[in-house]
């Protein structure tokens, strides 16, 4: 009888250990150029994901956009924060004054050429949106629905106030969390 109990405990331990490795140690990396606006938006996405799902998220800043895309290609970044205007430049396409048309263009081109999926824009006039690797989208299918809650949550005025409140990455993180709490998103 003692032996059966020991075997049951060992089996339960092995099953739990195997299940726990499915989520433990998995971290999403958000890559952005080192600007106050990009850091702020990345911190908002990070806070939403970590607070609502328990997934570890780390924001990584890079010197410029080229370094961000190099990190994506190397598999070091799962999510970027991008605007259609900057994305058209990355694609080598001319600027498109119609924001909705620009968004649709880059959404399709990124999927085909860069294996990246655009989500809904945050709602600020610059049209920033989270952009995920297709692999991340497949592994975290709830992210589009979760991050869609940010769409329309921010307007140009609230974005300007957040930027003013955040000068460093620590202040960006705090300002982003306060904003999300005020909007009852976390």
Question: Domain with 68 in it: what CATH number?
Answer: 3.40.190.10
Q: Decide if pLDDT at 47 tops 70.
A: yes
**Closest Cα partner for 109 from 124, 123, 135, 89?**
89
Residue 87 belongs to a domain = yes
Residue 151: phi and psi, rounded to 5, are -65, 125
Residue 135 within any structural domain of the chain: yes
**Residue 14 lies inside a defined structural domain of this protein:** no
The more confident residue out of 77 and 158 is 77
Is the model more confident about 6 or about 30?
30
- Within-domain flag for 44: yes
Count of structural domains within the chain: 1
In this predicted structure, the answer to whether residue 16 has a pLDDT above a threshold of 50 is: no
- The token pair that represents 65 in the structure block: 């956009």
Contacts of 95 (CB under 8 A, 6+ apart): 85, 88, 89, 102
Stated pTM of the model: 0.82
Structural domain for 136, as ranges: 26-182
Maximum average pLDDT range among 13-22, 35-44, 74-83: 74-83
Does 169 have pLDDT greater than 90?
no
Higher local confidence (pLDDT), 163 or 79: 79
Residue 7 lies in a domain: no
Cα Rg, the chain, nearest whole Å: 19
User: Confidence band (pLDDT; 50, 70, 90) for 174?
Assistant: confident
Residue 15 domain-assigned (yes or no): no
Contact indicator for 111, 117 with CB cutoff of 8 Å: yes
The two tokens of residue 32 are 């952005």
Cα separation, 167 vs 163, in Å, equals 7
């Amino acid at each position: 009888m003692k032996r059966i109990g020991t075997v049951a405990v060992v089996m339960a331990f092995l099953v739990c250990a195997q299940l726990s490795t499915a989520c433990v140690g998995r971290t999403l990396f958000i890559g952005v150029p080192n600007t106050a606006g990009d850091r702020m938006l990345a911190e908002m996405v990070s806070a939403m994901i970590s607070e609502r799902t328990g997934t570890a998220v780390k924001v990584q800043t890079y010197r410029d956009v080229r370094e961000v895309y190099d990190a994506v290609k190397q598999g070091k970044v799962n999510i970027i924060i991008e605007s259609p205007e900057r994305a058209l430049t990355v694609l080598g396409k001319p600027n498109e004054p119609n924001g909705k048309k620009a968004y649709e263009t880059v959404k399709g081109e990124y999927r085909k050429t860069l294996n990246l999926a655009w989500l809904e824009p945050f709602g600020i006039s610059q049209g920033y949106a989270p952009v995920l690797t297709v692999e991340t989208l497949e592994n975290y299918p709830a992210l589009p629905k979760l991050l869609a809650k940010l769409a329309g949550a921010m307007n140009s005025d609230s974005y300007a106030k957040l930027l003013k409140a955040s000068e460093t990455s620590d202040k960006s993180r705090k300002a982003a969390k306060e904003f999300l709490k005020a909007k009852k998103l976390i």
